[in-house]
Chains A and B, each alone.
Chain A
Amino acid sequence: MASFRLIVNGQPKVVAVDPATPLLWVLREELKMTGTKYGCGIAACGACTVHLDGIATRSCVVPISLVAARPILTIEAMAEDPVGRVVQDAWVEHDVVQCGYCQSGQIMSTVALLKAMPQPADSDIEESMGGNLCRCATYVRIRAAIRSASQQLEEHKRR
């Protein structure tokens, strides 16, 4: 058990946990933030994706001891994020979700993609989203929503 200071969605938090506890479980069980999901625990599915210092990170495999002061952004912060909001709106517009369980991770990965590459080509989308599993397999609509969000962001820039 050790004490860790974290910065989650801009807020300072302190938790007391075993240093080996993955960030995912600190978020879900210490901070009660359940938007970030447990799908596999071995970083194979992406449902646990958060942004760690701006980098899309699979929180199920990162022990809290390795997080340090790097700011953490979760799905709960995306509605207030300029890119996150556009992506979430595109998800609703395109009726992407089915069971929805993977979609926090899909959206976090998408936001990371669009922040790094606002106009991704289809092949970029496929590579960057290629590690996010959707068991319902809503991939066709995920692609469409990403293209749409990308277009929206482009239009916002022009205004």
Chain B
Amino acid sequence: MSASTSAANELLLDRRTFVRVSATLAGGLMVSLHLDLPLLAQEANQAGSGSKVYPPNAFVEIRADGKIVIQVNRLEFGQGIQTALPMLLAEEMDADWSQVIAELAPAADVYKDPIYALQMVGSSLSIANSFQQYRELGARTRAVLVAAAAQRWKVSPELCRTEAGVVHGPGGQAARYAELAEAAAKQAVPATVSLKDPSAFRLVGRRVRRLDSRSKGDGSLRFGLDLDLPGMKTAVVARPPVFGAGVKGFDDNGARRISGVHDVFEIPLIRGSGVAVVADRFWTAKQARDRLAIDWDLATVERADTARLLTRYRDLARMPGKVATSRGDKKKIDSFPASDRIVAEYDFPYLAHTPMEPLNTTVRFDGDRAEAWAGSQFQTTDQAAIAEVLGLKPEQVTFHTMMAGGGFGRRATLDSHVAREAATIAKRFRGTPVKLVWSREDDVQGGYYRPMHVHRVEIGVGPDGMPLAWRHVIVGQSITAGTAFESLEVKDGVDSTAVEGTIDTRYDIPNFHVSAHHPTVNVPVLWWRSVGHGHSAFVMETLVDELATRAQADPIAYRRKLLKADAKRLRAALDLMDEKSAAWRTTLPPGHAAGIACHEGFGTTVACAVDVSIAGGRPRIHRVTVAVDLGVAVNPLGVESQFQAGVAFGLSQLMAKGAITLKDGRVEQRNFDGYTPPYMVDAPLAVDVHIVPSGEAPSGCGEPPVPVISPAVVNALTRLTGRRYRSLPLVTV
């Protein structure tokens, strides 16, 4: 990366970004990334004041006591990047890993994703997009430490080497990083750095235990919901029972009589309005809210209804939609007689994310500035939204990233609706921190679901059992229409998040045509871990399995034949899965069947085999063998963990009570009793994970485990029962 130096300890990386090393007051070293020259200008004006202003947007701090504090630019919500990203930096820096402390960075421009220009975690791209970034930060930090040592010892830097937090000189000299920190701060940041050859990795590629285990196991780690500040109030909001409705009037006499209630007032929501209750305690607020009598104006809002939507979607699926991809002859399918044609219709319900930690955001408004705390997947977006509500500039809002209890996409909202609610309420209580909490019921009933979908697929099957024509219509709400991501994701009227997994298939299918309809429905929608791949992989992999059975072919052999020759990474995963599961697949006890699925998404290829029987009317998954090609596996232990748990998460789609349904505008489920994610008994008994060795640039593993598991299990069930399962969730088997 070409760069130039504008000041001694700064390196201008590009037009707007520069790296700076500086000393901390405590005698440590700080390496920062800065955007925007005005900041530099401010500091230049303060040069004569005698003390430096150290901006909060630092990446690495070497403390005098030897601890190395690394800022993680994205939310940690279980996926393990709070360990993996620091590993990259620590590797290139040759830090002593035992001294590393990882912190979640606050909202700031410098922490934005290098490619997407917002601070984010999503699309499983944390490692992919920050791989180079964190490595270079580590390498530059190392460089200034070496330069400081070389200067002290009057030797050439090339003759020095580093290991575990120590610089070693050619004559046996040695200095710990902490000792060198102050001198390092005065060194010129190098224009170019060379990164290690992967063969030299000491940390990256090792199974490294995550840094947050102890504090998450002893109750000491505070999540957003655990925040406690002096004078803090807690707020809950009564939201309309039908999305988008507003308050006509309300009676709060019963609510206000409860001791500890401070105020009750109407607030605008993104659409419609609700009633906020502010109290000393969550329990008090919730009790008070239950005593509100609210008259909702339901007259003008559309009442979404699952049964009616299903009919509407099925009708739409029979009509061509906006073209998502088309190769070959889209009418070819019509030439196939019924005997050589498969026609399959699939339906998928709304899914709620329900991360374990209920949604929350805390805001304190001080008039000319504000402070906010949240486990947000989109920190700069939320920060800007809070600023807008409070009439401030984003940089006037200090936004702290809290550790989050799961997310799965729920905390990545482009409308920042939770942050906006919190700010709207906090605005009325100047100087008082207000923690807005969504109860579990609010969460289950509050929308922002993975959209409902219908797929209709027609396949023309050739004499050799291979597909010769494939016409595929997908119906589902657009997640990104009307959001900041629309220009990125919507092309020619098709939202790519609805058709991913089909249009990008690695199967070599001629006369392949995919089109989509995006109906407008009064239900707010959002991602849900793996987004479009979650339903599209189910369709693709169950249909390919059906084709294999029809051709009397082994499901793995059939896929090998159908995959494009150049689908190297998917083939590699398939081959590895085959190798690692062949022994048990061929020796299954009676009542068991094997199911296969493979899929590529988020740059990562995955193949799995499952061993399934039926017990108590439910699928019992005895074993999953999963193989993955994700390029360089930064932390193989983290990858293993993500896949072992991710496949169990994926089974959410099959749970008997795994659907959000609406009746006449109202969500029918209320809590985990009605919308039930997988418990231990629903999860596989054993999952063995195998990583394809690779030196390629890394891709992610947060979402890739999810799409393959449901079709694999269902493919096994079909072998056991002879039935096809095209309507999720699996209410009966």
Contact = CB atoms under 8 A, between A and B. Distances in A.
Direct contact of A and B (CB under 8 A): yes
Interface hub of B77, B281, B283, B356 (most chain A Cβ within 10 A)? B356
B214 interface: yes
A101 B226 CA distance: 11
Given A41-B671, A42-B672, A99 B218 contact: no
A130 B284 CA distance: 31
Given A38-B225, A97-B212, A140 B355 contact: no
Interface stretch (B105-113, B309-317, B676-684): B676-684
Nearest to B647: A137
B219 A141 contact: no
Nearest to B705: A137
B219 A136 contact: no
A142 B683 CA distance: 11
Interface string A119-137: 0001001100111111111
A47 B356 contact: yes
A4 interface: no
Given A25-B283, A95-B641, A133 B677 contact: yes
B282 interface: yes
A125 B681 CA distance: 10
Contact of B226 (A25, A34, A99): A34
Interface hub of A125, A132, A137 (most chain B Cβ within 10 A)? A137
- If over half of B's interface residues share one DSSP class (helix, strand or loop), that class is named, otherwise mixed; here it is loop
Nearest to B642: A98
Interface hub of B221, B439, B673, B686 (most chain A Cβ within 10 A)? B221
Contacts of B644: 138, 140-141
B531 interface: no
Contact of A22 (B283, B354, B685): B283
A3 B80 CA distance: 44
Contacts of A44: 671-673
Interface string B600-643: 00000000000000000000000000000000000001000110
Contact of B648 (A42, A76, A137): A137
Contacts of A131: 679
B646 A137 contact: yes
Given A34-B219, A101-B356, A137 B678 contact: yes
A99 B228 contact: no
A59 interface: no
Interface string B433-476: 00000011100000000000000000000000000000000000
A130 B681 contact: yes
B700 interface: no
A42 B218 CA distance: 23
Contact of B645 (A33, A104, A136): A136
A41 B440 contact: yes
Contacts of A100: 78, 212-213, 216-217, 221, 403, 405
A35 B356 contact: no
Contacts of B221: 100
Interface hub of B219, B355, B403, B683 (most chain A Cβ within 10 A)? B219
Given A32-B228, A97-B217, A42 B223 contact: no
Contacts of B218: 35, 75-76, 78-79, 88
Interface in A1-54: 1, 18, 20-22, 25, 28-29, 32-42, 44-45, 47
Nearest to B406: A99
B357 interface: yes
- If over half of A's interface residues share one DSSP class (helix, strand or loop), that class is named, otherwise mixed; here it is loop
Contacts of B79: 98
A133 B641 CA distance: 17
Contact of A135 (B210, B228, B283, B356): B356
Given A137-B683, A138-B641, A140-B648, A103 B216 contact: yes
Nearest to A1: B259
A44 B406 CA distance: 17
Contacts of A36: 219
A96 interface: yes
B244 interface: no
Interface residues of A, number: 59
B673 A42 contact: yes
Contacts of A38: 225, 282, 358
Nearest to A35: B219
A103 B671 contact: no
Given A22-B283, A42-B673, A132 B679 contact: yes
Contacts of B680: 125-126, 129-130, 132, 134, 139, 142-143
B209 A92 contact: yes
B271 to A, nearest CB: 27
B356 A136 contact: yes
Contacts of A32: 228
A22 to B, nearest CB: 7
A102 interface: yes
Nearest to A88: B217
Contacts of A97: 78, 210, 212-213, 216-217
B671 A75 contact: no
Contacts of B637: 95
A45 B672 contact: yes
A44 B301 CA distance: 33
B690 to A, nearest CB: 15
A76 B212 CA distance: 16
A55 B80 CA distance: 33
B351 interface: no
A79 B26 CA distance: 33
Contacts of B649: 135-137
A103 B222 CA distance: 13
Nearest to A41: B440
B714 interface: no
A47 B356 CA distance: 9
Contact of B404 (A79, A99, A125, A129): A99
Nearest to B683: A139
B687 interface: yes
A92 B208 CA distance: 11
A65 to B, nearest CB: 14
A107 interface: yes
Given A41-B440, A44-B671, A126 B681 contact: yes
Contacts of B641: 95, 98, 138, 141
Nearest to B674: A44
Interface in B226-276: 226, 228, 259
A76 B228 contact: no
A74 interface: yes
Contact of A95 (B210, B355, B684, B686): B210
B220 interface: yes
Given A38-B225, A40-B672, A107-B217, A140 B686 contact: yes
Contacts of B281: 25, 29
Contacts of A33: 219
A75 B216 CA distance: 10
Contacts of B214: 88, 92
Nearest to B213: A92
Interface string B178-222: 000000000000000000000000000000011011101111111
Interface hub of B355, B648, B680 (most chain A Cβ within 10 A)? B680
A64 B645 CA distance: 36
Contacts of B78: 97-100, 136
A49 to B, nearest CB: 11
Interface of A: 1, 18, 20-22, 25, 28-29, 32-42, 44-45, 47, 74-76, 78-79, 88, 91-92, 95-104, 107, 122, 125-126, 129-143
Closest 6 A-B residue pairs measured CB to CB?
A: A35-B219, A101-B405, A100-B216, A99-B78, A98-B78, A137-B648
Given A37-B357, A76-B219, A102-B356, 11 more contacts: A28-B282, A33-B219, A34-B225, A41-B439, A47-B356, A99-B404, A101-B355, A136-B649, A137-B649, A139-B648, A139-B678
16 contacts: A18-B259, A33-B219, A37-B357, A40-B672, A41-B440, A42-B440, A44-B671, A45-B672, A76-B218, A78-B218, A100-B405, A103-B216, A132-B679, A137-B645, A139-B680, A141-B644
